[in-house]
Structure 1
Amino acid sequence: MRTAMICLFTVCLTFHFARGADRQPVLGDTIADLRFKDIRGLPRSLADLGTKRAYVFVFTTTQCPLVRKSMPKLIDLDSRFGPREVQFVAVNVGPEETIRDMAAQALEFDAVFPFVKDTDLSCMKALGVERTPEVVVLNAEKRLVYRGRVDDQLRLGGSRPEPTRRDLEEALNDVLADREVSVAQTPVDGCLITAPEPPTADQPVPTFHKDVAPILNRRCVACHRADTAAPFSLLSFAEAAAHAEMLAEVVVDQRMPPWYAQAKPGTFQNDPSLTRAERETLVRWVRSGRGEGDPKDAPAPPELPTSKWRIGEPDLIITMLEEHTVPATGFVDYRNIV
């Protein structure tokens, strides 16, 4: 009987903790921290936003039509509430959208508040968000006091000429007046957020020689080899394994391989961008133990340029009239040197 009671207690305790881990955040919860990447790919957190009277997080993608229609409303609200110590933040959750895409959207709308990337959707989960452009407001104590729509004007199936209630604006007025938010939760008519598909158990575990090296040879080693501007080589298993975690991070962020041309005009012959399948293979290799595999599966060595000139020998080389010393540390003002 005692053994049965202990087992029952253990099962109940496990169930309690499992439910606690899966618990959706509710109004009134204190949000301990949020982590995201800024437009330069640098890791940031809720604490980096400083001390404010309120924090507004609007979840976005570059393609959701209601996000695009709502952006002028958010920019207007930021212009009016920003001077009153309200911090607006656009949180991009587009699964195939890069940090560059996000930064381009900020420039397109001339938005002055931060745009950040929720790469792993941890912010979305921490705030209980399901759609874009869903909005969450935290008060000065980081308590969740509003979650819902910007207003009731815009819908996917049509729009009103004018909103009948400006929900976000009313919520901010309540917060700044130290009142309880009168309508703290509203329905959101927008685009459901798509989480990345988790790997299935039947997917083969990638190995370096068979799966990873061909990708690195196609996309990376033209730069990531000895005597180039890249900080380290990725030609061998040992070199790739030594930098595996950094490799996964920049691949998930889509910061590497670097490519800044817009995809809209067409395709480019020298575009090194990874496909979704290639990104998933590289990250799965890192997360599954970085197996080397059989060297017999290795691809042929890549054909690499031997000239120091990457786009061909120049017709004319002009030397500077005088020498200029570049300091090892510090900041150098921009100058035109002839």
Structure 2
Amino acid sequence: MFHTHWRITPMRAKIAAVASVIAIAASAPMALAGTTPNFVENFRLTDQERKAHELFYYADAPAIVLMATSLDSKEAKKSAQALQALKEKYADQGVVFYMISPVEGNQRAEAREMLASANVDVPVLLDERQLVAESLAFDRTGEALVINPKTGFTVAYAGPVSSEADLTSTIEALVAGEDVAPKMVEADYKEKLELPNYEPAKFSEISYTDDVAPILVDKCGACHAEGGIAPWELSSYEKVFGFAPMIREVIRTDRMPPYFPDPHIGNFENNDELTDEEARTIVHWIEAGSPRGEGPDPLLEADLEVQDWPLGEPDYIVEVDAFDIPATGILEYEYPVIENELEEGKWIRATHVRPGSMRGVHHVTSGYIQDYKKSAAVEEDSIEGKLPGGSVGSYTPGQNPQEFPAGVGTYLSPDGAYRFSMHYTTFGKEETDKTQVGLYFHDEEPEYIMRSSVIGDSNFEIPAGDDDYYVKSYLKFPADAEIYVLYPHAHYRGKHVELTMQKPDGTEEKLISLPRYDFNWQRDYNPVEPIQVPAGSRLIAEWWYDNSERNFANPDFTANVTPGDQTHEEMMYFRVNYRWLDEMVQNVTQHSETMMKDRLFASLDDSVDDMLQKEEIIGQRNVWLAKGFDKYDANDDGLLDRAEFQIAQKDRPADPRFGNREGVNEFGDIEEGAGKKDKPNADMTSLETKSTSGAGVQ
């Protein structure tokens, strides 16, 4: 749901019109094997650099050229160079060029090697499921299609990329806005591409009972259940049959299931992604007409129903203050503070936030104030007095209950209070939210403390219309640690995010990549095995943003966008939950405080060289530092080191966006153990209030 007026423009109206044409055309018979389609259906694929590309994103382009290719032949290199020549001739006129390679497994390195050897920069879309190549009848290297988006993505040319005269005349006519009759050019192709999984004659043999329904139950049942967040239930074959065309579309566009990490980077729990084989099974079954076949209907027996408490009845339930959500309007954040009624300290091992209004609760974050009641029960110099506050749970659509690793916990003192950040959105109807938070406790005191820190940047400004704006920041870990949770967050313009660990010896390890970030589907990503972080390592977060008109989720592509808590603003944010290996409940360290004091410096150090150059000092809140750079450069080397930067911070002017800054860091986070009794005000939460542990905003 957008938080500002969504701008309807001629281009966006055109996109909507094209989408309706495609929706009608999608009901037409599908192309037979080896037959060039009359129009091209939408798809999304990832290229050799881990960037996602969607066909319909280019609805305003005069023409789109797709070419089939292998990755390791002379013919592939020759065809790629021919396509490159066309790109150099027409790219400035808005024509879009891609190669598509039907591959099996991760062949990005091979694609990069082929492009480098051919001196070509046309992206290679790697079709690992081969569903797109099948639908395009792309089975020969050098075979090209020219697509006309203005007429419903119809095919204006099909033939070899080597037929320069035919290709050129078609492209020039489309660029000129002329009507173009489809042109099919036959050729004797030298290299055939294998599509080993494309056997249409066998598609009707796929069993709904044995093959399709079990996949749907396993990968889709949690949301498409009675009372689930999905708009329809997986209740029967008939329901699936009715939604079959949509199911095929969301698989081809990689929108469903809503699990978006790159499958070749990291290994995470709760992986709902379809395997390549599962995706082909469902799509091929649908392309065969979704036959019912023999056997019982597994959906009738699956008993798909959302459980109130998937982890079982909680040990304790926190009742968040009820809130009346109006039908319309933009709502400020609510910050209810609820005193802990437990008479003894407890250690959390798991949490589950359950919204009362599934439509009105946008997200929930939380923290715990250890000394809220300031009684004599906890002495400041005691072990309990040194323990940081921590998150008591968070919620976003699709979020699972949060379980801590064995032996790790967050402490709740009997003198404390729960503090929540509630983000509500209106949806055209009044409704009252009564969110509950289920807490599950350790039976005994755990050994380790769960920590949470945020890699962030609040210095950027995304220019209007920029479709690939880049922001980078990092945290430098002063001690050995292991990471349990990765959580990236941006708003509607966030499109791609990666996290990399740079070790002290200079080697790098990619920890996670989301080729396509979707604001509406955010979640924690829990590595199957904790990520080991050696002391001195940097965790480098990189975000790419799309502030263009083509980004259909963009609330206002005419605005320069700065950081802020509302979704029409932006965030560069990446939370990690971890523990220090040398920190135990009986030995609380200052490692987190040391690391977080360096975060503003790191957010400016784009070159990641432990020095700040003058051109790296950007952002409205750093104008004073840019102007006084030479004054703070004590050794006149044209750089600011950490010591010089810290001295300069004494002159930092108050930031009106943060109000009372006590207990609040430069990103608007309430620090671990801040212990603020008073709830934060709106001015203090420029980048969305996180939690007392910096546990993250969803």
Q: TM-score range by the shorter chain?
A: 0.5 to 0.7
Helix, strand or coil at the partner of 1:92: strand
Helix, strand or coil at the partner of 1:131: coil
Helix, strand or coil at the partner of 2:225: coil
Q: CA deviation at 1:333?
A: 0.8
Q: CA deviation at 1:221?
A: 0.8
**What is the CA deviation profile of residues 234-282 of structure 1, one whole-angstrom value per residue up to 9, with x for unaligned ones?**
2544543442332233345554323322233464443223344433443
State the distance in 2 between where 1:92 and 1:262 align. Answer: 18
Corresponding position: 1:147 with 2:160: yes
Partner of 1:232: 232
Contact 2:226 2:306 in 1 (8 A): no
State the distance in 2 between where 1:45 and 1:67 align. Answer: 27
Helix, strand or coil at the partner of 1:132: coil
State the distance in 2 between where 1:327 and 1:112 align. Answer: 42
Structure-to-structure mapping, 1:8-157, within 5 angstroms:
33-39=38-44, 44=56, 48=59, 51=62, 56-60=65-69, 63=71, 74=83, 77-83=86-92, 85=93, 87-90=95-98, 92=100, 94=102, 119=132, 121-124=134-137, 130-135=139-144, 144=157, 147-149=160-162
Helix, strand or coil at the partner of 1:278: helix
From the two aligned structures, give the one with the greater strand fraction.
2
Helix, strand or coil at the partner of 2:102: coil
Contact 1:134 1:147 in 2 (8 A): yes
State the distance in 1 between where 2:54 and 2:171 align. Answer: 30
Q: CA deviation at 1:60?
A: 4.1
Q: CA deviation at 1:189?
A: 4.9
Q: Calculate percent identity across the aligned residue pairs.
A: 22
Write the letter of the residue equivalent to 1:198. E
State the distance in 2 between where 1:293 and 1:197 align. Answer: 25
Partner of 1:337: 688
**What is the CA deviation profile of residues 215-234 of structure 1, one whole-angstrom value per residue up to 9, with x for unaligned ones?**
22221112222344333222
Structure-to-structure mapping, 1:186-225, within 5 angstroms:
189-190=190-191, 192-194=193-195, 196-200=197-201, 204=205, 206-208=207-209, 210-225=210-225
State the distance in 2 between where 1:234 and 1:35 align. Answer: 29
Check 1:73–1:97 CA distance in 2 against 1; reply closer, same or farther (3 A cut). Answer: farther
State the distance in 1 between where 2:34 and 2:90 align. Answer: 32
Contact 1:60 1:67 in 2 (8 A): yes
Q: 2:291 aligns with which of 286, 289, 293?
A: 289
Rg comparison, structure with higher value: 2
Partner of 2:401: 311
Write the letter of the residue equivalent to 2:420. T
Write the letter of the residue equivalent to 2:402. G
Contact 1:56 1:136 in 2 (8 A): yes
Write the letter of the residue equivalent to 1:36. E
Structure 2 segments unaligned to the other structure (5+ residues)? 1-31, 45-51, 149-154, 173-184, 311-351, 354-399, 405-409, 413-417, 429-552, 556-566, 571-686, 690-698
Check 1:68–1:303 CA distance in 2 against 1; reply closer, same or farther (3 A cut). Answer: farther
In terms of mean alpha carbon deviation, does 110-119 or 197-206 score higher? 110-119
State the distance in 2 between where 1:279 and 1:174 align. Answer: 35
Write the letter of the residue equivalent to 1:192. L
- In the comparison of the two structures, how many residue pairs are matched? 270
Write the letter of the residue equivalent to 1:289. P
Q: CA deviation at 1:51?
A: 4.5
State the distance in 2 between where 1:247 and 1:224 align. Answer: 12
Helix, strand or coil at the partner of 2:212: helix
Partner of 1:264: 264
State the distance in 2 between where 1:277 and 1:265 align. Answer: 19
Contact 1:37 1:116 in 2 (8 A): no
Partner of 1:152: none
State the distance in 1 between where 2:260 and 2:100 align. Answer: 19
Check 1:64–1:172 CA distance in 2 against 1; reply closer, same or farther (3 A cut). Answer: same
Partner of 2:279: 279
Query: Cα RMSD over matched residues?
Result: 5.5
